[in-house]
Amino acid sequence: IVEIPVEEAYEPLYRMILAMAATMVVMAVLAVVISIILAKNFATPLKLLTESAEKFGAGDLDVEVRLHGRNEFGILSRTFNRMTARIKDLLISYREELEERKKAEKALQKESEINAAMAGLSAALISEPSMDRISPLIIDHARRLTDSASAFFCYVGWEKSDFLCADAVYFQ
């Protein structure tokens, strides 16, 4: 029987354990590095998308996400950009329509005022035959309908004596 010292007998086992421990340390370091790289590759696009969504939500309608790629983040950024462009177009269209409605409403209001003034003037003309009494009413209606500070009115009737001129100046 051959006797080998214990240290010499277990030396291949010790080397194998040491090699396995070194391999495990290298693998753990590689796993940590790969995890950091992958986390950064996921976190950066998500952060950019989140910041862009917050800016858009705060009213910046011109925000755009610039992530180019064929992965999910690229698809999501192009979808986000199309969505924000569509919302911006809708808001612009809504504002234009609102302006048009306000203008139409203002025109209708002015037309309503004119119709009311004309009705009041017609009623006054029918009920009061004297131009001396009606001329101030005509001047006042004409001034208000034209948003003028002054007005001038002349009436010439069939008879030579049917001639009346009146004017009024209003300071506002």
Report pLDDT digits (tens) over 39-48. Answer: 988 898 899 9
Residue 92 structure tokens: 């612009």
3-state helix, strand, coil in the chain (%, to 5): 70, 10, 20
b (16+ CB within 10 A) / e for 102-137: eeeeeeeeeeeeeeebeeebeeeeeeeeebeebbeb
Residue 100 structure tokens: 């048009």
Tell me the mean pLDDT in the region 132-159.
71
Report pLDDT digits (tens) over 95-145. Answer: 999 999 999 999 999 888 888 878 877 787 777 767 667 777 777 777 777
Whether the per-residue pLDDT at 86 is higher than 50: the answer is yes
How many beta carbons lie within 10 A of that of residue 70, not counting itself?
7
Task: Provide, rounded to the nearest whole percent, the portion of the chain with pLDDT above 90.
Answer: 48
| The predicted structure's pLDDT at residue 136 | 74
Compute φ and ψ for 22, nearest 5 degrees: -65, -40
Report pLDDT digits (tens) over 19-64. Answer: 999 999 999 999 999 999 999 888 988 999 999 999 999 999 999 9
First to last CA, the chain: 130
d(CA 149, CA 147): 7
Whether the per-residue pLDDT at 160 is higher than 60: the answer is no
d(CA 92, CA 86): 10
| The predicted structure's pLDDT at residue 170 | 47
| The predicted structure's pLDDT at residue 171 | 41
The verdict on pTM exceeding 0.85 is no
